[in-house]
Amino acid sequence: MRTRLPQNILCGAYITGPYTLTGLLMGAEEAALSTIMNPEYLHQVCQITTTKIQDYVSLLITAGAEIICFLEPSSVMLGPDQFTEFSGKYIESICSKYQGTEISFVYHICGNTMHLIERMAQSGVNALSLYSPNAGINLFEAIKKVSPDIIIVGNVSPVGSLLYGTPLDVEIEVRSLLEEVNVFPNFILSTGCDLPQETPLENIYAFMKAGKNYRIA
């Protein structure tokens, strides 16, 4: 990507977050139970996964990545304090190594993260990628929960009008979202998560066109 794309296009990469990777190793249910029943052991595994993630982050940056997005879907089941202890602090330890550089970090968690917004913002990342309204995300309220220097990314549903509607449906949904949050400068339009492979190309074009044509007053 870095060698073939124009230099003015930012290159980003996904990476699994520490708690989610821990859950993949231990089993999601076992990891969740360990937050209460065996937190010391869970921390040991999180420390191992964080070390491996840090190594991978370094390789991605060496390859030309300018944005690193942590995918931490398993953490949506945690309460705020558990989230900070077993995800946020480990993400912060990675982000802190790149303070003062031009590398940016994004936190993405699928599902309803309204109870975690403030804790996500405290982890040292530059942006929060939020899921869709049908999962319970109120974007207007979410943006108000964070400081203006935290970018909010989102949150058109990937399985709504983009997948099943017409280009006009997509344009209407995009414009409605942008009008709702147009008073906030710290917002970047995106889908709430990855698009299904069968998403019609004409709907993706309509999404991009609607976003580009809209201007914040």
pLDDT digits (tens, 9 = 90+) for 174-216: 999 999 999 999 999 999 999 999 999 999 999 999 999 997 5
Residues 39-48 have pLDDT tens digits of 999 999 999 9
At residue 106, the pLDDT reads 98
CA-to-CA distance for 140 and 10, rounded, in angstroms?
26
At residue 217, the pLDDT reads 45
At residue 29, the pLDDT reads 94
Question: Partners of 155 in the beta sheet?
Answer: 190
Q: What is the DSSP letter of 186?
A: S
| CB 158 within 8 Å of CB 191 | yes
Q: Pull the structure tokens for residue 135.
A: 């999962």
Q: Which CATH class is domain 12-129?
A: alpha beta
Residues in the chain with pLDDT values less than 70 = 216-217
CA-to-CA distance for 28 and 6, rounded, in angstroms?
40
Question: Partners of 2 in the beta sheet?
Answer: none
Q: What is the DSSP letter of 196?
A: P
